[in-house]
Amino acid sequence: MPNPYREIFRAPGALAFSSAAFVARLPASMVGLGIVTMLSERRGEYAVAGAVAAVFALASALITPQVSRLVDRYGQRRVLMPAAGAGALALSGLMLSTWAGAPSWLLFVFALLAGVMPSIGAMVRARWTELYRDTPQLRTAFAFESVVDEIIFIIGPIVAIGLSVSLFPEAGPLAAMVFLLVGVPLLCAQRRTEPPVRARAAGMEASVIRLGGVQVVVLAMIAIGAIFGTAEITAVAFAEAQGQKAMASVVLATYAAGSLIVGLVFGALRLRASLATQFVAAIALAAATTLPLLAVTGLASLALVFFMAGAAVSPTIIIAMGLIERLVPARQLTEGMTWGITGIGIGMAFGASAAGALIDAFGAHSGFWVSVAAGVIGLLTTLVGYARLLGDRNQAAVCEPA
């Protein structure tokens, strides 16, 4: 029986750019938690640490789509190298300021500047799209990348926190910077798989976020991100309330395992339903899996529910990337995919923040209501915007310059 995942790597250069991208995007899962751990270890408080990490997350959400617009306009190699260099310099400034005990405002400045670091997940998905556009293999490639994301978000936080705690506070962000400076040049060196810069009309094109279909996908991804972000903080709080805080990592591992396993299976399927219909079904499943959270009574039941909830994550992301590929002009693909990934990050930040406030006020179990609310909002968004999801890149006239 043929292995669809082995097949996608038969293309020349596929293994090389995918391996390089793995290294280059490890910082995506390390910097935020690395900042929190570094500042809390060095200053002994979480308030400033959380605020600085939030500024970095917000800056990334606003800046990375603009970096990706430049990539679509000038190519990956010409943009990624200076963007990674600027991000590394800003991260260095943040580490040095922390070590030197600089004023808090300086930490926020460097966190803001560090948001220029590029979205490597979008870059590697753009390369897969160039190889397998309009073929069944593209879904498999997106599924593979979704699984890689899960692995990265399991490994990265462990490395970042472990280094900062066991060596010195700045060790986690330092490792993230090294991965960035090594991985990005390795990726840019894979020139034969770099997406070409396509011809464009004179003038600067409008952002693809103005497309109705892309807006629906991004809003849905914010909801999915909120469900995912809520899981981390509620798992820790719930485990602590049960007197077994150390078990939170095991419970969260079941969440990642559900997403990873189902993502691998889903990527090998060949479904006939339209991507818009698949997307609504995936969001509905994600919303449905949040409801059992309200009935959990212990860590065992929480782990089981988290596994089911995780099973809805990968298919949703895989379909979302496929939808964006259909909705945006090919010459603006990287920006479009960056918006989708950015939506997840925004949702994670809002979800964790809202859940934390509820937990502080009403107890660990109350945080699950954020997941339920996010699921309902995500489903309503896709149902209302279903017609816009049926559009294609040929209807993307809004992206042409006025």
Per-residue pLDDT tens over the stretch 174-185:
999 999 999 999
Indicate whether 40 pLDDT > 60: yes
Q: 32: domain range? A: 13-194
Indicate whether 124 pLDDT > 60: yes
Mean pLDDT of all residues in 16-34: 86
Predicted pLDDT of residue 132: 86
Give the ranges where 312-332 is alpha helix by DSSP (H). Answer: 313-327
CATH code where residue 59 lies: 1.20.1250.20
189 and 258: one domain?
no
Give the model confidence (pLDDT) of 369-381 as tens digits. Answer: 989 999 999 999 9
65 and 124: one domain?
yes
Residues 324, 213: Cα–Cα separation, whole Å: 8
Which residue, 141, 125, 152, 146, is CA-closest to 23?
Answer: 152
Q: How many CB atoms lie within 10 A of CB 96?
A: 13
Q: Confirm if 394 and 326 have CB atoms less than 8 A apart.
A: no
Mean pLDDT of all residues in 299-324: 85
Residue 126 forms part of a structural domain: yes
83 and 125: one domain?
yes
Query: CA 305 from chain center: how many Å?
Result: 22
110 and 77: one domain?
yes
Q: What single letter denotes the amino acid at residue 249?
A: S
Residue 199 forms part of a structural domain: no
Residues 378, 380, 382, 388, CA torsion sign = negative
Mean pLDDT of all residues in 355-384: 86
Residue with the larger pLDDT of the pair 357 and 278: 278
Tally of domains within the chain: 2
175 and 272: one domain?
no
Please say which residue of 172, 194, 216 terminates a domain: 194
Residue 4 forms part of a structural domain: no
What's the pLDDT band for 264 if we cut at 50, 70, 90? confident
With DSSP H G I counted as helix, E B as strand and the rest as coil, what are the percentages for the chain, rounded to 5? 80, 0, 20
Which segment of 36-50, 308-322, 372-386 scores lowest on mean pLDDT? 36-50
Count of positions (residues) in the chain:
402
Mean pLDDT of all residues in 335-355: 79
What's the pLDDT band for 401 if we cut at 50, 70, 90? very low
DSSP per-residue codes, 178-222? HHHHHHHHHHHT-GGGSPPPPP--SSPPPPGGGSHHHHHHHHHHH
Q: What is the mean pLDDT of the chain?
A: 82
Please say which residue of 127, 160, 194 terminates a domain: 194
Residue 345: exposure state from Cβ atoms within 10 A (0-12, 13-18, ≥19):
buried
DSSP category for residue 311:
T
DSSP per-residue codes, 32-86? HHHHHHHHHHHHS-SHHHHHHHHHHHHHHHHHHHHHHHHHHHH-HHHHHHHHHHH
Mean pLDDT of all residues in 301-326: 85
Q: Confirm if 87 and 298 have CB atoms less than 8 A apart.
A: no
Please say which residue of 138, 159, 194 terminates a domain: 194
Q: Confirm if 240 and 325 have CB atoms less than 8 A apart.
A: no
- Give every CB contact of residue 58 below 8 A, 6+ residues apart in sequence: 115, 349
From residue 399, give the alpha-carbon distance in Å to each of 200, 211, 240, 276.
11, 8, 49, 21
Indicate whether 385 pLDDT > 70: yes
What's the pLDDT band for 200 if we cut at 50, 70, 90? low
